[in-house]
Amino acid sequence: MRVRLNGITKTFGSLKALDRVSLLIEEGKFFTLLGPSGCGKTTLLRVIAGFASPDSGEIFFGDQRINHIPPYKRETGMVFQNYALFPHLDVFGNVAYGLRARRIPKEEIRSRVHQVLKKVQLESLSRRFPGQLSGGQQQRVALARALVIHPRVLLMDEPLSNLDAKLRVAMRQEIRKIQRDLGITTVYVTHDQEEAMAVSDSIAIFNHGAIEQVGTPSEIYFRPQNRFVAEFTGTSNLMEVKVTAYDEEASLLTGDLKGNRVFLRCTQKPAGETLTILLRPEWIKIARDEEEPSTNLFHGQVVSSTFVGFMVKYQVKAFGDQVLAIEVQDPQEHEIKKEGDLIYFRFHANRPVVIAS
């Protein structure tokens, strides 16, 4: 089912929880609302489920406008952050609940419940009560309970936030696999950017009740449109560059970075005179010394050096008093620098992203 939101606004007192949010979620897609806590993403999910009614704006499932439809008739399957399992019903009873409400024949209920429990690998636990299950198992019950009614849209509100780190990674892969198998339109809320990238077809980044950017995980990471998106989706080095020249044929921009000449690939001439550029820590490479001939070769002083096994994380003071994060994979290739050491680094002219400031 395609979900379309049109200019959704919702205020709580003086707080604007949602500010003219418009979104199009294509049929069968895994769509994630990502943002810091209090940004309005959960409110939007509750608007879709019908638990919060927007002050203005429209919600469509397919071509049907559903603003006036009460939550219990919306046919959405919601997985709550705390699972919200019915404590007095066993696993079977929990999963069958929605089917019984729909007055589906007993035989069919039994087979559908067993089918979905098999899918989430809980068949053997159908007579257990929620209190007797681990966090991960409760999570699966909540998912099964939402899926079994064949909802038009699956809604998930930070479903993994109560699990430990390892289980979280395993569960998110499982959720993604089940979603693909069933081809069910899914709206997923999280504040964990890695989780969002791992599972989503599309991500909408939220801040202060408004959407900052919508795109695929790689678009979001490699081409963030603004500072907030850049900083929220990963470690970011942001630098101010003064434009000195632009070569249209080569799409090459020459700029001044605190007195250093820097080359950037740019498909069109930027509007302003000063640009903000983004460099992810892993886009920066370590050079052996200044003799290595390269463009965009700079040097700085190591402020801190953290060895975490598969890589070294450096904090490097360069371009005056700016501190850059640099991450070097396979650290044995280079000598690991210590605090206070001089370090040479470079980056390809293709790499930096110009951020609209």
Partner 1 sequence: MMRRYFTLWNVILLSVFAVLFFLVIYPMFSIFYASFQDPETGQASLESYQKIFRLPYYLRCLRNSLWVSGLSTLLSLMIGIPFGFFTSRYHLPGKSLIKTLATLPLILPTFIGAEAWILLLGRNGWLSNLLKQVGITLPSIYGWQGIVLVFTLQFFPFVFLMVSASINSIDRSLEESAGNLGAHPWRVFRTVTLPIVTPSVVAGALVVFYMSIENFGVPQLIGEDYRVLAVQAYNEFISEMGGNPSMAGALSTVLVLITFLVTFVQKYWVERKSYSMSSLRPPEIKRLKPFPTFCVWLFCAAIVFIALSPFLVILLSSITKNQGPVMYFGQFSLKNLTQAFRIAPRPIFNSFFLSTVATLIGIVFGLAVSYLVVRRRGPVTYLLDLLMILPLVVAGTVLGIALAATYNKGRIVLTGTWMILVLAYFIRKVPFSIKTTSSILQQIDASVEEASINLGVPPVRSFLKVVVPAMLPGIAAGAIMMWVTTLAELSSTIILYYGPWTTMTVQIFQYVGSGDFGPASAYGTILILSVLIPLFFLHRFLGRDVTATL
Query: Which residues here bind partner 1, judged by CB under 8 A?
Result: 49, 51, 53, 68, 70-78, 80-82, 84-88, 97-98, 101-102, 142, 145-146, 149
Tell me how far apart the alpha carbons of residues 29 and 7 are, in angstroms, rounded to a whole number. 21
Closest approach of partner 1 to the CB of residue 152, in Å: 12
Closest approach of partner 1 to the CB of residue 161, in Å: 13
What is the Cα 30 distance to its own chain's centre? 11
Tell me how far apart the alpha carbons of residues 85 and 67 are, in angstroms, rounded to a whole number. 27
Residue 139: which H helix or E strand, with range? Answer: helix 135-147
Closest approach of partner 1 to the CB of residue 51, in Å: 6
Q: Which residues contact 188 (CB under 8 A, 6 or more apart)?
A: 30, 31, 32, 33, 156, 159, 196, 199, 200
Could you please report the per-residue DSSP string of 36-48?
Answer: -TTSSHHHHHHHH
Closest approach of partner 1 to the CB of residue 89, in Å: 8
Closest approach of partner 1 to the CB of residue 121, in Å: 21
**Which lies closer to partner 1 via its Cβ, residue 74 or residue 119?**
74
Closest approach of partner 1 to the CB of residue 129, in Å: 11
**Which lies closer to partner 1 via its Cβ, residue 87 or residue 105?**
87
**Which lies closer to partner 1 via its Cβ, residue 102 or residue 261?**
102
Residue 160: which H helix or E strand, with range? Answer: none
Closest approach of partner 1 to the CB of residue 57, in Å: 16
Instruction: Quote the tokens at residue 245.
Output: 């020249």
Q: Which residues contact 191 (CB under 8 A, 6 or more apart)?
A: 34, 35, 36, 37, 41, 158, 161
**Which lies closer to partner 1 via its Cβ, residue 155 or residue 204?**
155
**Which lies closer to partner 1 via its Cβ, residue 68 or residue 166?**
68
Question: Are the beta carbons of 57 and 5 closer than 8 angstroms?
Answer: yes
**Which lies closer to partner 1 via its Cβ, residue 145 or residue 280?**
145
**Which lies closer to partner 1 via its Cβ, residue 40 or residue 77?**
77
DSSP code of 331? G
Q: Is 320 left (phi over 0), alpha (psi -120 to 50) or beta?
A: left
Tell me how far apart the alpha carbons of residues 162 and 134 are, in angstroms, rounded to a whole number. 11
